[in-house]
Structure 1
Amino acid sequence: MKNRLKKFDYGLIIVILALSVFGLIMVYSSSYTLATRNFGSGHFFFLRQLQWFGIGLIVFVVMSFISLKKLGEMSPLLVGLAIILLALVLIPGVGVVRNQAQRWIGAGPIVFQPSEIVKVFMIIYFAHIYTRKQKYINDFKKGVMPPLVILAFVFGLILMQPDLGTGTHIVLICGLIVLFSGVKFYHIALLGSVAAGGFYFFAQSQPYRLQRLTSFANAFDDPSGDGFQLINSYVSIGTSGLTGNGLGNSVQKLGYLPEAHTDFIMSVIVEELGIIGVTFVIGGYLFILYRGIQISKEVDSLYLRLLALGITFQFITQAFFNLGAVSGLLPITGIPLPFISYGGTSLVFTLLAAGILVNVSGRRTQPSTTQQETR
């Protein structure tokens, strides 16, 4: 235990906690007006997020010390549980409908989103199963294909919610784990082609999906409809400057920018804190990317390496999708900004995944020189 504590990547821990605390501050700032108007208390969303952060912090600590070997062995059961939750979402009366989407389960006062749980469980499962299949990794039918059937089933359930963005994100993360596991390039190219073809088919199979995926490129063609949210995000970004308008001084959050405390919280960060705020957030994610890759290089187990890379790229691709949507470079997918956006399930399971990454860092055989010097 003491040896593992010495090997923990404390720089990584500090950045993760700094982003999470910063997220609490920005949730409070971006939601105060909405919370006052709808609930009579400007602290409503902040206090709920603070409660979830407390739970997430406990989960983070527990996952930092849990047996990763046992966690991998439990992964098929965890994925099975996640699939059951995804199926329950689709049952009328059990699944909760918000904004014309049925993506949540309500249990009394608690409402949670199973797709956020699935995201982490699939990473653990794929890291575990592709480590065990190394003897057959060049055999497509026996070594590569079986876990992908589970992935396709999970994707289908998420698509029925409907949530093409989260489904695509999970497929991308799992695809990266397959790539890192040593699968033949030919098989990767084949799978990539199938995935791209499938994405195109599902994107154009429903008019609203295609409209949402293309409206970001022509936001001003429908300023009061599909382009409304993105245009107001542009206004937030365009009025920021170097230091922004000051913490709490966003104008767009006063009812102009929908989802200001969730998917588009970065717009408020830019408007209030300017380039300095952007640099802090993006710098934090780049540090996590750097340390995650370094940790994967410093462990002597393929399973640990795949876990580290899978979780690292979960954070980075999720941030990429969110920041791309906010800036108008990518379609709006509804994917939250990790550690920062409002949302209990997202925050708790993001911290759970972060705890696993810290756990892996404690199992390095040769921590980097830089890390040793900072202790």
Structure 2
Amino acid sequence: MKDRLKRFDYSLIITVLAMCIFGLVMVYSTSYTRGTLLHENGSYYFNRQLIFFIMGLVLCTVMAFFSLKSLGKLSPFLVLLSIILLGLVLVPQIGIVRNSARRWIEIGPIAFQPSEIVKTFMIIYFAHIYAKKQAYLDHFAKGVLPPLFILGIIFIMILGQPDLGTAVHILIICGFIVVFSGVRFVHIFMLGLIAVSGIGFFAISQPYRLQRLTSFMDFDPSESYQLVNSYVSIATSGLFGNGLGNSVQKLGYLPEAQTDFIMAVVVEELGIFGVLFIIGGYLFILYRGVQISKQVDAVYLKLLALGVTVQIIIQAVINLGAISGMLPITGIPLPFISYGGTSLVFTLLSVGILINVSGRRSID
């Protein structure tokens, strides 16, 4: 145990903690007016996010010391639990509708978003199953295909909420794990072609999806209200921002600015310093995640490390691309920064897995 503690990647831990604390500050700044108007408490969203942060830290710590071998053995159960949770979302008495989408489960005072939990569970499952199938990866039907049926079920269930953004995010994470596992290039190319074709089909199968996916290219201000106000936030920031707490767009112009568009307020208030801090943090997490994967011998551990790293980085890229108008708006939160309990808690749980892997490195 002492040896593992010495091997933990403390630079990664410090970076994640710093980003979470920065996120708490920005949630407080961004949501104070909304909390006052809706809940008569300017600290309402901050207090909730602080509770989620503490819960996430507890789970992160537990996962940092949890047996990864046992975690792999639990992966089939985690997949079953994922399917059950996603099924419960569609039950009217349990699943709740927010912003015209049924993505949440509400049980008494507790509400959570199962698709955020499923991201972590699918990383564990894919890392475990493709590590076990190393001897069969040249055989598409026997080694590569079976886990993809599970991924297809998960994808369709999340798409039915509807939540194309999260469904595609999980597809990308699992796709990277398949690539990293050593699958033959011809199989990767074929699967990539099928995935792109499938996403394209689902994107154009409903008019609202197509409109949302193309609005960022030639947007109508009446249809892209969030993006327009995101641009205003960025444009009025100047190089050094207007000062912490001095955003104008958060005062009712940028809807629910504390969630997936929080970066626009960061830019407006802190300018280049806020941008460099956040992007620098993600780049450092990417670097450490890749290094950790290189420093462990077991394929399972490598795939876990890379899966968690890809989860965080791809989510950040999707979010930052959306607020800058370079990618479609998907509603995906910014890791460690955006307000959102399920996302923060389970992203920190995933970080706990990465820290656990770092404790098993060969760095002597």
Q: TM-score range by the shorter chain?
A: over 0.9
Residue 134 of structure 1 is matched in structure 2 by 134
Residue 171 of structure 1 is matched in structure 2 by 171
1:248-272 deviations in Å (ceiling 9; x for gaps): 1000000000120000000000000
Aligned length: 364
Structure 2 letter corresponding to 1:239 = T
Residue 336 of structure 2 is matched in structure 1 by 339
Question: Aligned partners of 2:217, 2:164: CA distance in 1, in Å?
Answer: 18
Superposition map of 1:187-226 within 5 A: 187-219=187-219, 222-224=220-222, 226=223
SS at 2:334 equivalent: coil
Does 1:21 pair with 2:29?
A: no
Q: Which moved more, 1:235-244 or 1:251-260?
A: 235-244
Does 1:317 pair with 2:291?
A: no
Question: Aligned partners of 1:24, 1:359: CA distance in 2, in Å?
Answer: 25
Residue 243 of structure 2 is matched in structure 1 by 246
Deviation at 1:2, TM superposition (A): 0.4
Does 1:303 pair with 2:303?
A: no
Which consecutive residues of structure 2, in runs of 5 or more, have no partner in the other structure? none
Task: Name which of 262, 265, 268 aligns with 1:265.
Answer: 262
Which consecutive residues of structure 1, in runs of 5 or more, have no partner in the other structure? 368-375
Structure 1 letter corresponding to 2:162 = P
Deviation at 1:242, TM superposition (A): 2.3
Question: Aligned partners of 2:337, 2:72: CA distance in 1, in Å?
Answer: 28
Question: Aligned partners of 1:146, 1:14: CA distance in 2, in Å?
Answer: 39
Task: Name which of 281, 287, 297 aligns with 1:284.
Answer: 281
1:160-207 deviations in Å (ceiling 9; x for gaps): 000000000000000000000000000000000000000010000000
Question: Aligned partners of 1:20, 1:96: CA distance in 2, in Å?
Answer: 28
Residue 159 of structure 2 is matched in structure 1 by 159
SS at 2:287 equivalent: helix
Does 1:237 pair with 2:231?
A: no
Question: Aligned partners of 1:116, 1:261: CA distance in 2, in Å?
Answer: 18
Structure 1 letter corresponding to 2:315 = Q
Residue 3 of structure 1 is matched in structure 2 by 3
Task: Name which of 346, 350, 355 aligns with 1:358.
Answer: 355
Q: CA RMSD in A?
A: 0.6
Residue 255 of structure 1 is matched in structure 2 by 252
Structure 2 letter corresponding to 1:340 = I
SS at 2:74 equivalent: helix
CA contact (8 A) 1:30 1:268 kept: yes
Question: Aligned partners of 2:69, 2:253: CA distance in 1, in Å?
Answer: 49
CA contact (8 A) 1:97 1:104 kept: yes
CA contact (8 A) 1:218 1:227 kept: no
Structure 1 letter corresponding to 2:347 = T
Structure 1 letter corresponding to 2:129 = I
Residue 39 of structure 2 is matched in structure 1 by 39
SS at 2:330 equivalent: coil
SS at 2:255 equivalent: coil
Question: Aligned partners of 2:360, 2:286: CA distance in 1, in Å?
Answer: 18
